[in-house]
Structure 1
Amino acid sequence: MDRELVELVDQERVRSGELLTIGAFAARSRLSPKALRLYDRLGLLPPAHVDATTGYRYYRADQAERARMVALLRRLDMPLARIAEVVEPAGLDGPSAADRLACYWAEAEARFASQRTLAEYLRGRLSGRSSEMYGKFVVETVDVPEQVLITQTRHILPDELPTWIGAALGRLEDAAQACGGTTGAPFVAYHAEVSQESDGPAEACVPVADEAAARAWAEEHGRAWDTGVRVEPARRLAYTRITKAQVANPQIHAAFEAVEEWIAERGLNHAGPCREVYFADWDAAGPQDAVCDVAFPVR
C-alpha cells in the first residue's frame, strides 16, 4: 500500500472514531499531550499508530482506561518503572497486577512510618527535647586489642543497609571457620556517611584467629565477594549500648550523637571510623534486649 493510500486510510479511521488524535485522546484520558509523549517514550502507553510522514500519534479509544490507570498510579508517587510492571498488558486486570500494587504500597507505608518517626525525632531535637524522647544514653570506654579482620566493603544506600549487614556478616562468620574461628564480635565500620546523598562505603568486619588462613581465604574468594583482610591496631572505643528496637532510625542516630557529644565534652579525638558492634544473637533477641554497641575509636 503506497503512502498516499495509507494516509487516506488513517484519515478515514480518525473520522470514523476508530483512532483519536493525541489532542482528542488527551481530553478523553485526562492526560496532557506532554504526558502522553513521555509515557510513549517509556513504553508505558505507546500509541496505536504513528504517521510515518508527520510523526503524529493516534490512539484507540479503548486505550483511555490504561491511560487513566497510569495517571492514578502516578498520584501514588509510584515510579514509572513500577507502573510499567502493574499495567503490562497481560496483568492489567489480573491479580498479579493487584499484588504488585499491594507490594508497592506496603513499601510506601513502611517508608512513611520511618519518615514520621524521623520527623518526631527532629522536632524533639529542634525543641531541645531529644533526651526526653529517647532517654539518656550511657557512654563508656573499652580497650580492644589488635585484631585480624576479614571484611566485605560496599557502597550502599540506607534502604539497602539492614539487609546487607545481615547477609555480609553472615557470610563472613561462615568464612571465619576456615580462618581459625572468630575472636570477637562482628561489626560494621562506616568510612563515610550512609544517607540518601552519600553511599559510604560501609565495611562489614569479623575478627578471626589465623591471619595466614584469612589471607589465603581472601585470595580465593576476595574477587567474588569484594572481600579482604586487614589488621586493625589496638583501639580504645567510646560506646553506648542499645537494644534491638533502637537499631533503627532515628534512635540509632540519637545514640551516635550522644557518643559524639560525650567525646567532645572530654576533649578526645576521633581515631577511626565509627561502627556498630553486634555482640548478641540478632535472631534470638527480643526488641528490648541489648544487641549492639554504637562506638567511635578515640585517643
Structure 2
Amino acid sequence: MTELTLLKLGGSLITDKDTPYTPRLDKLKELADEIASFWTSGRPLILGHGSGSFGHAAAKEYGTRDGIPTPAPLGASRHFPQMRSIWGKTEGGRYWKGFAEVWFQASQLNRFVMEALRAAGLPAIALAPVSAVTAHEIRVARWDLTPLRSALAAGLLPVIYGDVIFDEKRGGTILSTEDLFAHLTRELRPGRILLAGLEEGVWEDFPARTRLVSEIGFPSYEAMRAGIGASSSVDVTGGMAAKVGQMFELIQEVPGLTASIFSAEEAGNLSRALAGEAIGTALRA
C-alpha cells in the first residue's frame, strides 16, 4: 500500500447530467480549489472524471459501450474494406461516427476540467485513454503507463477520464473511469480510491434514501449486494451496484486498499475526504 490516491469526480457531479452537454462550471472551480489545497500536502494523486451529460448522451444513442456491429480489425490499413465504415459506407458506419462523437464530447468535458485545474494553480496534465489503452471485451488489455508514471515522478497531476477505446473483440467500446482505475490499482497499488459524486454513499433502502451505510466490509457486502441501487440518471457504464462491486473486487486483490463513495456536492466534502475524514460509505476488506 502507498500514499497514492485515485480520485474520481463523477459525471453527475461536474455536469448537469440530465441536460446534455452542460458543465457545472462553478462546481468545477470549487472542486479544483479543494484539490489544490490537498495538493500542498505533497501526497501523490491521480485524478479521473466521468463524462456525465457529455459522453453518456451520445453513448446511449449509438450503443457505443456494447461495441461496433461491424468492427474494423485493430491496426487495419485503409485498404481493408471494413475501414470504409468510418465514412458511413458500410453497416458499421453510423456506429463508428458515434464512436467519434463520444470521443469528441468526452474530450470537450475534459477541456473544461483542465481549465478549472489550471485556474486553481494545479500542474495538471491530461492523458487521453483512447491514445494509450487497448481493450479486450470491455476490459483493459494493454496500457503503456510510462507517461503516467513519468508525470507522477515529475510532480504533475495526471488526469484521465472515461473514454472510447478500441477493442480487439468488439471493435470499439467505452471504458469508464472505474474501469481504468481498476487497471491502475492493480499496477500502481494505491492506498485508497475516492469516488466523489452526487449520491451521499450506499443506501440501505435505495431509492427511499433514509438509511445511509457508513461502512461495508466484504462479508456484509455479500449479504446486501442485491439491494444496492442503480444510478438515478442515464449511465451507460453502470450505476452504484456496478461501482461497489468493482471496488470490492479490487479490495480483495490489493491488501490494505480502501475505497470511499461520497457526495462532493456540499462545499468542503471533497477536502474532508482527501484529508482522510470518514464521509459517505467506506468500503473495506
TM-score (norm 1): 0.24
**Which protein has greater RCO, CA pairs closer than 8 Å, 6+ apart?**
2
Structure in which a larger fraction of residues adopt helix:
1
TM-score (norm 2): 0.25
Structure number, greater radius of gyration: 1
